Structure 1
Amino acid sequence: MANYKIQKNPFIVPTTDGKLIEEIWGATTNNPEISIAHMVAPPGWKEPFQTPEFEEFTYIISGKKQFEIEGEIIILEKGESIKIEKGTRVRYSNPFDSECEYMAICLPAFSMDLVNREEME
């Protein structure tokens, strides 16, 4: 038995907001301890505030992404990354004119049971 597993077919998470979410590792691949996802957020995209029960790391591949973290607005660009501690109230968005491509890693894995999303304003 091999001591490795190759992932060739990420799970495409169904969305209704135009955002591409390709979960490479995570709950959909029976890895509840971590999720790794490739994402592309279209211009004007935003999510509601959330207070996740997991740490989230984000690495920007291209474009810009806005983070509203407990009242502070932070904008990251290509090559920059951030770690957001679990239990932190945050809202992710792309209020810019071009798409934002990024990787997100969550410890433990992202799940709707742990994200604690608020209603959209």
Structure 2
Amino acid sequence: MKSYKIQDAPFVVPTTDGKLIEEHFGNATNRDSKISIAHMVAPAGWSEPFQTPLFDEYTYIIKGKKQFIIEDETVVLEAGQSIKIEKNTRVQYSNPFTVACEYISICTPAFSMDLVNRED
């Protein structure tokens, strides 16, 4: 058995909002994962509801811009910038801009709908 795994066929998470989510490592590809790593593309005009996740989330912007409303503060990241948002922090993710935003997201523990706590 090898002590490494090359991921060349990530799990494409089905979405209804036009966002591309390719999970390379995480709960969709390996049950009870401690970390999730996903490549994402958020289309122009995309947004999610506010949430208070039970995981730390790291985001690295590859192309475009992404908006974060963290508690009551609005933060906009551009290509080459990254952010860590600690668990139990109320946040909303969006791309209110005119071009798609491509980014990498890393969650620890791994992303799970049970842990995201999205608001209605």
TM-score computed with the length of structure 1 as normaliser:
0.97
CA deviations 1:55-79 (Å, max 9, x no partner) are 0000000000000000100000000
Of 53-62 and 3-12, the range deviating more from structure 2: 3-12
**Matched AA of 2:20:** L
1:39 is displaced (CA, Å) by 0.3
* SS of corresponding position for 2:114: helix
Q: Structure 1 CA distance, aligned partners of 2:65 and 2:98?
A: 9
Q: For residue 55 of structure 2, what is the aligned residue in structure 1?
A: 54
Q: For residue 43 of structure 2, what is the aligned residue in structure 1?
A: 42
Q: For residue 118 of structure 1, what is the aligned residue in structure 2?
A: 119
* SS of corresponding position for 1:9: coil
User: Is the counterpart of residue 9 in structure 1 residue 9 in structure 2?
Assistant: yes
Q: For residue 85 of structure 2, what is the aligned residue in structure 1?
A: 84
CA deviations 1:42-65 (Å, max 9, x no partner) are 000000000000000000000000
**Matched AA of 1:48:** P
TM-score computed with the length of structure 2 as normaliser:
0.97
Q: Structure 2 CA distance, aligned partners of 1:98 and 1:109?
A: 28
1:24 is displaced (CA, Å) by 0.5
**Matched AA of 1:26:** G
Segments of 5+ residues of structure 2 without an aligned counterpart are none
**How many residue pairs align between the two structures?**
119
**Matched AA of 2:49:** P
**Matched AA of 1:20:** L
Percentage of identical aligned residues: 71
Q: For residue 73 of structure 1, what is the aligned residue in structure 2?
A: 74
RMSD: 0.7
**Matched AA of 1:51:** T
1:32 is displaced (CA, Å) by 1.7
Q: For residue 21 of structure 1, what is the aligned residue in structure 2?
A: 21
Q: Structure 1 CA distance, aligned partners of 2:11 and 2:61?
A: 20
Segments of 5+ residues of structure 1 without an aligned counterpart are none
